[in-house]
Structure 1
């Protein structure tokens, strides 16, 4: 396999021409040929504005057609894309732009005031300059893709054209793309998922429907409206969908496969029965692409938590019976930009160390068992944050939960829960005590949160996980109001 993303786009335009490629509800629809021509014009405009091969170009746009078109044009001009979350401000934004060395940022009038340095408004990127005749190779870096770590500033993964094309072909084969398929995505385009989805559609010649944002109440109506047959959900998305009131039209859709990551095993069969489609696990990371996939026909996986088998080119193992998940093979990032020590640590022993814990089931498949560092160390006891969060979200008042460690002189650390409530529930001491009692009936006493704090919502990582670093700003007393103590003093 020796392809690049610009080659994949040109090939799709030649093969599929007038077929629909990109559909942005409320904006426009583009055919493969339209997109290819638009990318040529944008690549010429970027080159005319000084973008040279190897230059980094930041993209800070909402889910609008300009996002994938700017991405593809940057690559056709020989540049390197730097996806930027539109919610970034001050520290986050400054870090990504400085660390990447981006020569310019393509954005909109709405976001431009927040962006330091050279700014190009997408709507003003016009002109008749031809696209530069740049020779791009599969080993060239296509993206500085910043990781979604829950602590500290993110690091840029160096992702090549080969990485992206391999990922797209692996996933296109896994979903068994058909001519009548419609792939729908609701994540922000700065995240990995809409980007690989774009390439899957180039490989398969099918349309990509891009929603403005994820909405639990609007997701399935949108799937019905657009005739979606394929989608991908992860992080908190499945649980938020499940918490929507059941409706008679739940099964009235064309969906034939939902790819997912980290769904709760106990709800797996219920998801399939409610919406009438198989849900199949996809496990991977920004650093490694797809690592494990459950085949569509593997009905024995339902409810087991099994994450499937490695695709061709990948090996996945555990460092012990219940241990860290290790990965090697292709696709794989080149490393972390400006972080040689972190790269060496991640790839020690020739394997990429994921930071995820896994356990093998009776069939020999790996199930996810939590994050190595997502723990609270209370005295001599280790508390899995994921385990406690799972219990907390089973309370009828709780929409989302995040458990974090806070320092304690006696115990070392204590668990504190941040809770987002469902509408109609009061953010008061009575609700906090009710949630704590709910946890106390289901967990060992040492796992029950010592403090509860209510929040309006959470900042999410690109993988739709709660970004916990924003919950613990330096200098704040995490025991003080609005925190509510929910355990007796002697137990805290």
Structure 2
């Protein structure tokens, strides 16, 4: 199926990667594509495709509806709680045309997660579907301060009667576009404030890094509430190229979808490469149009085999919600294959490796230190979290919490994390949030959540739990404790492993010493109850 070699004219030449984007807002990008590529496919979902002109008209009508019917004003927050359906990017772009701020909400959130995000963001409207409308209504009814939040069901968005002209709302590169919630090092999720300029820059840099053009076909399978489909949308707008959106990631069908849709560019992360490689080899593995795969966390031992199996170059790209993209390995760099390097900074970023103890001193090459980055794009800060913003953004430098070493070749290599969180596949799970959910159970005296290695997901969630007097420390109790915590948490945050302990080793300040706890568990293993979840 591989297409013949053709002359490539990247939309953003590599030499311009560090330049300011020529069109600096998402709304202006969509307007431009509606004019110069209106009849080209923009969004391809299983049921049908929509052109740039289709989406431009639909989002304008919906923006007028949000303004005229729902009373949405510039700066108001519009929450979006939908699965991977076309209404997700339509609601996002419509909210931005109305001058509003989108609040992506994980579709798997339960009542506690949803209530927190709606309260914290101050959302005025929730765009959802029939399956989640009842949950949203239940949360709104139970929370007095959310009583005036409106629900917009996408089954009938009521936009047909409104004009297709773009609302006359001022949108600038610095205009806030998203409150993107991400689990940080501790506590409940924090919302990164991301501007139009952030998204435009992210699409611009990735277009240049992968040398993409309007004839490429992008494909994504992650939930739209996460970063990846959103920056893929910004990338499609930058290129004037189509984005194929799958309902979900399935290791057993992903590469068949890549072949069927003739995708030439994909981004994968977390456990996805390993899960894909574990699928039985197929005679058509190399019969695809892939020419560029970006990945965060390529398994070093599999890197060459991944390229050999599917006949396309795989390269590392590193970033965070807070910073978009920081490092990458160019596709022409064969030395990167299997090296474990995260790459070198994109031209619009500067990086340092500093003393993790907090002195701020730059550490020598080969010595582990914290990766800090500056430049563009970067978040504006954390919504409603001035202290967290001040701790993370210091003098223009974003402190990532990742421990890295600078290699002799100039590349950056990840060696660990300072942060107290579990990186389960593509998800960040804040340990403190899970501990709080476990400790709401009256039978639980205390809980400590740690990461344990997993050969598929990278890390899994383990909970050490101290029970009250007389509570049986058996599997049935463990299961019931997890079920109760799971009613408050998204499924991916629920621990897989539970080990009961009589007490916790503590620091002089009476905090649980997790290093001492894990060391004790290794030296004197207790009974660990494993509640493995099915994997696709």
Q: TM-score, normalised by structure 1?
A: 0.80
Aligned residue for 2:203, secondary structure, equals helix
- Mapped to 2, the partners of 1:136 and 1:236 lie a distance apart of 38
2:174 corresponds to? 139
1:188 corresponds to? 223
Question: 1:5 pairs with 3, 26, 37, which one?
Answer: 26
State the shift of 1:172 in Å.
0.7
Question: 1:278 pairs with 313, 318, 342, which one?
Answer: 313
- Mapped to 2, the partners of 1:375 and 1:112 lie a distance apart of 31
1:43 corresponds to? 63
Aligned residue for 1:289, secondary structure, equals coil
State the shift of 1:400 in Å.
7.0
2:529 corresponds to? none
**TM-aligned CA distance change 1:172 to 1:375, over 3 Å:** closer
Higher mean C-alpha deviation, range 172-181 or range 226-235 = 172-181
2:371 is the alignment partner of 1:325: yes
Does the CA contact (< 8 Å) of 2:344 and 2:410 recur in 1?
no
Aligned residue for 1:327, secondary structure, equals strand
Cα displacement string for residues 208-247 of structure 1 (whole angstroms, at most 9, x for unaligned residues): 0000000000100000110000000001111111111222
2:483 is the alignment partner of 1:471: no
Aligned residue for 1:285, secondary structure, equals coil
1:302 corresponds to? 337
Give 5+ residue unaligned stretches, structure 2: 1-19, 141-148, 355-362, 423-449, 467-474, 503-519, 527-536
Map residues 93-492 of structure 1 onto 2, 5 A cutoff: 93-115=114-136, 116=140, 117-125=149-157, 126-130=159-163, 131-149=166-184, 152-319=187-354, 320=363, 321-374=367-420, 389=453, 392-393=454-455, 402=460, 404=462, 406=464, 467-468=492-493, 470-471=494-495, 478=500, 490=524
Map residues 17-36 of structure 1 onto 2, 5 A cutoff: 17-25=38-46, 27-36=47-56
Higher mean C-alpha deviation, range 145-154 or range 275-284 = 145-154
Aligned residue for 1:318, secondary structure, equals strand
Larger RCO of the pair (alpha carbons < 8 Å, separation 6+): 2
State the shift of 1:404 in Å.
3.8
2:442 corresponds to? none
2:101 corresponds to? 80
Does the CA contact (< 8 Å) of 2:185 and 2:419 recur in 1?
no
- Mapped to 1, the partners of 2:403 and 2:463 lie a distance apart of 19
Does the CA contact (< 8 Å) of 1:150 and 1:467 recur in 2?
no
Aligned residue for 1:38, secondary structure, equals helix
Aligned residue for 1:259, secondary structure, equals strand
- Mapped to 2, the partners of 1:107 and 1:64 lie a distance apart of 11
Give 5+ residue unaligned stretches, structure 1: 377-384, 409-426, 428-450, 460-464, 481-485
State the shift of 1:406 in Å.
3.2
Does the CA contact (< 8 Å) of 1:148 and 1:154 recur in 2?
yes
Does the CA contact (< 8 Å) of 1:44 and 1:128 recur in 2?
no
State the shift of 1:36 in Å.
0.7
Cα displacement string for residues 147-205 of structure 1 (whole angstroms, at most 9, x for unaligned residues): 13475311000001111101110001111113321000000011111111011111111
Does the CA contact (< 8 Å) of 1:52 and 1:77 recur in 2?
yes
Aligned residue for 2:130, secondary structure, equals coil
- Mapped to 1, the partners of 2:522 and 2:42 lie a distance apart of 59
Aligned residue for 1:196, secondary structure, equals helix
1:440 corresponds to? none
**TM-aligned CA distance change 1:274 to 1:488, over 3 Å:** closer
Does the CA contact (< 8 Å) of 2:460 and 2:495 recur in 1?
no
State the shift of 1:51 in Å.
0.9
- Mapped to 2, the partners of 1:466 and 1:362 lie a distance apart of 41
State the shift of 1:283 in Å.
0.2
State the shift of 1:13 in Å.
1.1
1:68 corresponds to? 89
- Mapped to 1, the partners of 2:52 and 2:126 lie a distance apart of 26
**TM-aligned CA distance change 1:33 to 1:490, over 3 Å:** closer
Aligned residue for 1:307, secondary structure, equals strand
State the shift of 1:374 in Å.
4.9
Does the CA contact (< 8 Å) of 1:28 and 1:65 recur in 2?
no
State the shift of 1:373 in Å.
3.0
1:483 corresponds to? none
